[in-house]
Homo-oligomer: A and B are copies of this chain.
Amino acid sequence: MKEIEFWFSIGSTYTYLSVTRIAEVARETGATFSWQPFSVRRIMREMDNVPFPPSKQVKVDYMWRDIERRAQDYGFTAKVPAPYPLGKFDLANCVAVLAMQEGWCEDYVRATYRRWFVDGQEAGSEPNLSQTLEEIGQNVARVLERAGDLDIEAAYVEQTDRAQRAGIFGSPSYIVDGEVFWGDDRLEDAVVWAKKSG
């Protein structure tokens, strides 16, 4: 079965669902995922896509309720509305880029999302960031310094360029065998595609 690329931005609300359940999906189906952080915010800005303007409050209200219901169906909790939008979006995701390079991406992203959606602590800001890093055994000072380095920023830009070239415009997205699947509710479709693709 082909590996599935899991493209995400910390800051996306629906991404909470995928981040939290993806390990169980992998266990149950045998699917494997490579975690790929990028900036959905940059891509949406370039598309003039404003996710939640005031005129769309009814849609925002629906989104939180939908996330709450889906989380319950999956067997976990979402305290909604979670703090939104993130003040430190890029920092949260630059840490994920560093984590990807060093092999602790999944642990970091799942833990920071749990603090955000269960404990109500904004991802990318304090106390979420430091407490998450401590929880997963990373040195806070080292990570915060490295996450600001130019090579990490360059890798973040490159990840976002790659996502854009692949046709990604939202988070979470899955890519397998050249097919893009957008949204937590397409995770199972991506797994089926991976099985078909051998």
Interface residues, chain A, with chain B CB atoms under 8 Å away: 46-49, 53, 55-56, 58-59, 61-62, 65-66, 69-70, 73, 167, 169-170, 179-182, 185-186, 189, 192
Distance A186 CA – B61 CA, assembled complex (angstroms): 16
Query: Which 4 pairs between the two chains have the least Cβ-Cβ distance?
Result: A48-B55, A47-B55, A185-B185, A59-B169
Write the nearest CB–CB distance from A140 to chain B, whole angstroms. 38
Distance A53 CA – B167 CA, assembled complex (angstroms): 16
Contact yes or no, B185 A62, CB < 8 A? no
Query: Can you list 15 A-B contacts with CB-CB less than 8 angstroms, sorted by A residue number?
Result: A47-B55, A47-B56, A47-B58, A48-B55, A49-B56, A49-B59, A56-B169, A59-B169, A62-B169, A62-B180, A65-B179, A65-B180, A66-B182, A66-B186, A73-B189
Contact yes or no, B61 A167, CB < 8 A? yes
Write the nearest CB–CB distance from A189 to chain B, whole angstroms. 7
Sample of 4 further A-B pairs with CB below 8 A, known A62-B182, A66-B181: A47-B58, A49-B56, A59-B170, A61-B167
